[in-house]
Structure 1
Amino acid sequence: MSILIDLSMLRHPWCGLGQVALNYGRWYGAHTAGLTPGHEVTLLVPRGFAGHFGAHVHYLEAHDCYRAMPWLMPRFDLWHSIHQLSPFRPSVRSTLRLLTVHDVNFMYEKPEAKRRRYLRRLQHECDRSALVCFISRFAMEDALRYLHVDAPMQVVYNGVEQLTEGVQRMPQGVDAGRPFLLSLGVLKAKKNVHTLLPMMKCLPQYDLLIAGDDSDPYADRIRREAGCCGNVRVLGPVDEAGRRWLYAHCQALLFPSLYEGFGLPVVEAMQWGKPVFCSRQTALPEIGGDAACYFDSFEPRHMASQVLRTLREHTPGRSRELQSYAARFSYDRHMTQYQELYRRLLDGGVGGSLS
């Protein structure tokens, strides 16, 4: 039975979905021999990526002609779109489709005309799918506020890349002699990073390093306000080696985001055994569970007191507990769940809810 995994987002390897596609490719490069017998997997990749994950992997290059004329695409028994807005489609309607929905951020971030267009497109994708998966229960519940899904639905938590292995490099702008707290993620208003700056005035013994894409206008606000704090530095984007160094050397991750379909930095920081402080909004309590610490208020003194108390009580044993918790989100576990779903779809065993 032939299975296609759509990794076309590799064309944007440094965005979140591009990283998901990259980790899928790496996993298949390492595990092709261990796939379900009788299943032949092909990776749909951008031009130039054929062979990227090893010569033993099957590839199909995502030529532009396949977007305009999908009937030119080879036929497959099962097609997995690992995100909801891929421009590529199976060549025939008889192909079983598995769709993974990450979020409906566009409903909160885009102008009305784009919201309508994206929603119509996503509804169409759901209508064509034999199974719709979501990256968290929150993501599913939020999407169902706008979508009608007749197909069976399943929550499959994101896999999280194991960051504790690999090269580390200190980013520019870091004072290595000062202990620091870390805020990591795209600087957008929903990330709520501005609430951390007044808090840092109550924590003069620590620096706050803010790392991540800073192209949104919200980042300008953060830079202006950080200029009034002597212990806050906005680093901007960092590469993988820089991200590893920051996690390895920080005292804790601060993640007060107001909207997350999953919240990758929460699990990434726990891989290093670091305390995580986040909001109680959207998917964060679901992903952080009892392992994370939650801000009950964004009042600066309250936040600072909670951070100090937790850091004083943190022990090597607690670090090991956090690392054990983070292991629940391994890519091996994630991909094993999908392999089972592929098997059940191809065996015709899907009916009703799979949850």
Structure 2
Amino acid sequence: MAITPRERLLDLTRLISRAGRPMTGVDRVEFAYLTHLLQHGPLWGLVRSSLGYVLLDTRGCVALRDRIAAQNWGAPDRLSRIKRGLDPIRMRAESDLRRLCVARCLPLRLGAMLRRHLPRGLTYVNTGHTNLTDRVLSALQGVDARVTVFVHDTIPLDVPQYQRPGTVDRFRHFLNRAARADLLVCNSHQTESDLARHLPAERLPRTVSAPLGLDLRTPTQAPDGPWQAPYFVTLGTIEPRKNHALLLDLWEEIPEAHLLICGSRGWENHAVFARLDARPPRVHELPGLDDGQVAALLQGSAGMLFPSFAEGYGLPPVEAAALGVPLLLNNLPIYWEVLGDIPVYADVADKYLWRKEISRMAADHQAGRTRAEQAPRFAPPTWAAHFKTVLTLT
């Protein structure tokens, strides 16, 4: 079977495993690749489901994209009801996969399924850090596939103290498998240099840096709540690395503003959860908001606060900057690379500076000194530029 230079196999396991849940930054990248690769030649999709592997052709990938975008899934089939413990929405998503697929198999038959249906020499693309297993890599060798892996960050190795149990070892195994790829795509020069620190030169494949494009959130209706202006927004999973503890410390001394914490509770953060459960004054926890609600809250805020200890890219500040929202960020190299001098930077060890800048931003907001001067200065990266870089190599 002849192959065109643009024929690719995209791994979609992560999107299906998280069906029905709010998209994280990594999820958004996988969805962007699904959307854009459909515009650049024949596309196949591979998913490791709870009952084995599923293969989609281009038509199936289009149908899956539409279901994910609309969060519109069909009824669960008989097989999904056999598998115990599955989330109800994932049951429906996997049922749709079986309806849409051109082939499916048990794990031991993966290599045979790929050899039967796929052209030799196509490019396998994995953007989700999911399903990059020895079994998959071995099966891909059977069709002489080139392998491209997106590496979002090396955070588990850089700040292991903020990880869930087992995460560091799992990431190290992932990186060892990623080193067998033909190309590693990085979201920044920072991630590219981090990879070089963790993989010896003789094991490091070809790498390329391609900043993530921005799918700007369109503001809808901000949710109602007991907060009032001025208020600040912080966005992201409530986990130790995001450093919500600093903001809770600061808010004990900030009577002039409210803090909106947008994001779901994560892991290994029991002290912060206990503080939130105590309902500190002027602090509001808002999980489960959709993109439009978050954007509306950001537009009405005095600024975004992002005291994270480590980031591979930091998509929420980029989104906020594109909306013209003032930013107060930890002084991390990745922010300088992507955002330059647009934010205010403050080391998270300097609580006095954070307190001072938050008060200044609140006063500016109250006085009507808004973000208008800032917004035109920031031209966010585009997916068009990202794929122009990546697709020439894949």
The verdict on a shared fold, with TM-score over 0.5 as the criterion, is yes
Higher mean displacement: 190-199 or 142-151: 142-151
Q: How does 1:273-352 map to 2 (within 5 A)?
A: 273-281=324-332, 283-310=334-361, 312=364, 314-321=370-377, 324-325=378-379, 327=380, 329-342=381-394
* AA in 1 matched with 2:147: R
Instruction: Name the residue aligned to 1:345.
Output: none
Does the 8 Å CA contact 2:239/2:269 hold for their aligned counterparts? Answer: yes
Higher mean displacement: 284-293 or 42-51: 42-51
User: What is the deviation of 1:270?
Assistant: 1.0
Number of paired residues?
323
Q: Secondary structure at the match of 2:177?
A: helix
CA distance in 1, matches of 2:13, 2:271: 32
* AA in 2 matched with 1:319: A
User: What is the deviation of 1:176?
Assistant: 5.8
CA distance in 2, matches of 1:116, 1:297: 28
Question: Are 1:97 and 2:106 an aligned pair?
Answer: no
**CA separation of 1:7 and 1:111: change in aligned 2, threshold 3 A:** same
Ranges in structure 1 where 5+ consecutive residues have no aligned partner = 343-355
CA distance in 2, matches of 1:203, 1:110: 31
Q: How does 1:1-355 map to 2 (within 5 A)?
A: 1=4, 2-11=7-16, 12-13=18-19, 14-28=23-37, 32=39, 35=40, 39-44=41-46, 50=61, 51-53=63-65, 63=104, 65=106, 69-73=110-114, 74-75=118-119, 76-87=121-132, 88-89=136-137, 90=140, 92=142, 94-107=144-157, 108=160, 109-111=163-165, 115-127=168-180, 129-148=181-200, 149-163=203-217, 165=218, 168-171=220-223, 174-175=225-226, 177-218=228-269, 221-224=272-275, 227=278, 229-281=280-332, 283-310=334-361, 312=364, 314-321=370-377, 324-325=378-379, 327=380, 329-342=381-394
**CA separation of 1:53 and 1:92: change in aligned 2, threshold 3 A:** same
**CA separation of 1:223 and 1:207: change in aligned 2, threshold 3 A:** farther
* AA in 2 matched with 1:145: R
User: What is the deviation of 1:314?
Assistant: 4.4
Does the 8 Å CA contact 2:25/2:315 hold for their aligned counterparts? Answer: no
**CA separation of 1:240 and 1:154: change in aligned 2, threshold 3 A:** same
* AA in 1 matched with 2:14: M
* AA in 1 matched with 2:146: L
CA distance in 2, matches of 1:64, 1:184: 40
CA distance in 2, matches of 1:278, 1:338: 29
CA distance in 1, matches of 2:274, 2:232: 17
CA distance in 2, matches of 1:218, 1:304: 23
**CA separation of 1:5 and 1:316: change in aligned 2, threshold 3 A:** same
Does the 8 Å CA contact 1:4/1:41 hold for their aligned counterparts? Answer: yes
Q: Secondary structure at the match of 2:65?
A: coil
User: What is the deviation of 1:17?
Assistant: 2.4
Instruction: Name the residue aligned to 2:90.
Output: none
User: What is the deviation of 1:153?
Assistant: 1.2
Q: Secondary structure at the match of 2:179?
A: helix
Ranges in structure 2 where 5+ consecutive residues have no aligned partner = 68-99
CA distance in 2, matches of 1:238, 1:81: 28
1:251-302 deviation line (CA, Å, top 9, x unaligned): 2110000011111101111121001111113533323321221113544432
Q: Secondary structure at the match of 1:123?
A: helix
**CA separation of 1:270 and 1:28: change in aligned 2, threshold 3 A:** same
- Please tell me the root mean square deviation across aligned C-alpha atoms, in Å: 3.1
**CA separation of 1:22 and 1:297: change in aligned 2, threshold 3 A:** closer
| Percent identical | 19
* AA in 2 matched with 1:139: T
